[in-house]
Amino acid sequence: MHALAEAKTSQELGSKDYILLNPDLVRAHTYTVVIPVYNSEKSVASVIKRAAAVFEEQGLEYEIIAVDDGSIDGSWHKLVECAKANRKVKVVSLLKNYGQQSAILCGLSYAKGDYVINLDDDLQNPPEELVKLIDKAVEGYDLVCGVYTHKKAPIYRQLGSRLINKINESIFNKPKDFRLTNYRVMERGLASRVCEYKTAFPYINGLSMMLSGQRANVEVRHEARAEGKSTYTIAKILSLVAAILLNYSSVPLRIMTYFGLFVSAMSFLGGLYVCGRELMGSAKVPGWTSLVVLLSFYNGVLILMLGLIGEYTMRILNTIAVPRSYNVREIFGQHDS
């Protein structure tokens, strides 16, 4: 089987070459594929067609929901064409670009299947591999993530993934032997819990980890991007890291607290030193330079801490005031419901 996989591309291999371990359980459920789309007019139609072919080859009941996250190319027109060609495809257009996480959350809110599969729009996650994920999920897992045999991504993306993985271990108590990836299957209950979680800054991997009980990994292939370049730049990776830290943890605030305690301790020791020199009669008249430097430093620390507290406060207010992290502009397909 491995030799065959190496000799053929994912599209040539097809899902028929995979033998289901739990055929009766797999065919007893329905499935929803959620695809966040951004500027992928050259690849998204192929993703949808190949995903549909997988379910039809296996004789499974399915639906595909593609969410256009404010694309500025012809992605929406491609999605509408796919919905016209296949009645099991629904496409949703967001008002503007809200980000991949919000687009996935939007797709989850429309999903009706017993299991929900997240699939990228660039063919790096071969649709033919999703049968492995659902075959494992029906064994009783509410979260199954694909682990890549060999990830074909730039080095900065791989380093960014490792950094985020460490953060997930710390914040969401992710076991070290479990890998969180974007190629995942969620049981209907878990998908509903993720949608019900009130936040203006969704992070699907973290929420699925936090709200799931039984988890598993399955080895899948990872392929090079079919068209164009990845929109996940170093800046976006750092932005995601900051969003996770600020919205799901108190780590930055705790760091500043410890730093404030350190500064206070140093100031106290400095005060003892000055008092000691005064008692020994060796004190000198302090200069304005040292006074200004110290005041500037301490005030800078206070302003930094107040700014951090203000950032947390604004995010809390946004979560309370904003009912959802996206707005839908248009829906096409499946009776436009």
> Is 285 within the bounds of a domain?
no
Neighbouring CB atoms inside 10 A of 210's CB total: 17
For the ranges 69-73, 131-135, 202-206, 225-229, the lowest mean pLDDT is seen at 225-229
Q: What is the pLDDT of residues 283-307, one digit of tens each?
A: 555 555 566 556 667 766 777 777 7
Q: What is the pLDDT of residues 7-48, one digit of tens each?
A: 345 555 555 667 888 999 999 999 999 999 999 999 999 999
Average pLDDT over residues 67-83: 95
Inter-residue contact 156 to 236 (CB < 8 Å) = no
Q: What is the pLDDT of residues 138-190, one digit of tens each?
A: 999 999 999 987 766 667 666 777 777 787 777 788 888 899 888 999 999 99
> Is 172 within the bounds of a domain?
yes
> Is 255 within the bounds of a domain?
no
> Is 299 within the bounds of a domain?
no
Residue 295, classified by CB atoms within 10 Å of its CB into exposed (0-12), middle (13-18) or buried (19+), is: exposed
Provide the 3-class DSSP secondary structure of residue 102: helix
With a pLDDT cut of 70, the percent of the chain lying above it is 75
> Is 302 within the bounds of a domain?
no
CATH of the domain at 45: 3.90.550.10
Domain count across the chain: 1
Domain containing 243 equals 2-248+324-336
Would you state the structure tokens that stand for residue 332, as one six-digit string? 């096409």
Provide the 3-class DSSP secondary structure of residue 189: helix
> Is 187 within the bounds of a domain?
yes
> Is 280 within the bounds of a domain?
no
- Alpha helical stretches, state H, 59-138: 75-85, 100-110, 130-137
* pTM for the full predicted model: 0.78
> Is 198 within the bounds of a domain?
yes
